[in-house]
Amino acid sequence: MYIINSNLRFRGLTFGNNPRMIILHHAESSRCSIEDVHSWHLNKGWSGCGYHYFVRKNGSIYKGRPDNAIGAHCLSYNSVSIGICTEGRFNVETMGASQYNSLKELISYIKNKYNISKIYGHRELNSTDCPGKNFPLSKIKNESLGGSNSGKRKKISSAGYPGYLLKYNANRFDSNVKTIQRKLKQIGYSVGRCGADGYFGDGTLLAVRCFQRDCNLMIDGIIGKNTWKRIMRE
């Protein structure tokens, strides 16, 4: 696979992206280059091309913003995802083989690089029709994830939320804290050297704050219903 360096000049990117999912988009334009996308996004007052990659109809793959830069492509998920945009308007067009194959190859590369097991279409996360009704979303998910996690995003229930706020309190054991610590560790956040011990100490506080920052939640270090649901969904 060859990724073309687009040499785009960005204005003031923010770094610290922590990719845990791939989000797919279309450009909603039948014919456009990454330079077009870059200038559209600059004109919106953004840092430049909001996506990390761009795949053209002929199968060429272009680099957008660096992987470790926070994206501008999917509200609430920009700091925990890699955004890939495809040239085309897939509400009216269908994707050809060259583009499909390159997209699949790119997904496989990113998936392995970051150990990602989740792929979403933009419309599954935000209220939009992107990447278009003809976009081969289920097909590419099935082929890229081998059938696992390929369905629609699971409906998240708040079941399991203990009904009270979990807060910093290093002196009290709480099995709900232990549940959250285990989950945080599983998704890549260190909860300190004691590990998942059921005590909400400094390590856990830092992990919760980092998680909240990465997910654009309010950074208060407290696990209420929203933070609980987001952690358990990951």
What is the contact surface with Zn ion in residues (CB under 5 A)? 25, 122, 130
Kind of pairing between the strands at 199-200 and 169-173: antiparallel
Nearer residue to Zn ion within complex by CB, 41 or 122: 122
The structure tokens listed for 8 are 């785009």
Beta carbon of residue 27, minimum distance to Zn ion (angstroms, whole number): 9
Least CB distance to Zn ion at residue 148 (A): 24
Cα–Cα distance measured from residue 196 to residue 181, given in angstroms and rounded to the nearest whole number: 5
Q: Is 16 left (phi over 0), alpha (psi -120 to 50) or beta?
A: left
- Straight-line distance from the first to the last Cα atom of the chain, in angstroms, rounded to the nearest whole number: 29
- Closest approach of Zn ion to the CB of residue 47, in Å: 17
Shortest reach from residue 116's CB to Zn ion, in Å:
18
Could you tell me the smallest distance in angstroms from the CB atom of residue 115 to Zn ion? Answer: 24
The rounded distance, in Å, linking the Cα atoms of 164 and 176 is 10
20 vs 25, which CB is nearer to Zn ion?
A: 25
131 vs 198 by CB, closer to Zn ion? 131
Query: 23 or 223, CB closer to Zn ion?
Result: 23
Q: Which is nearer to Zn ion, 50 or 198 (CB)?
A: 50
Cα-based distances in Å from 217 to 59, 79, 224: 37, 11, 11
Residue with tokens 């509400």: 91
d(CA 167, CA 221): 7
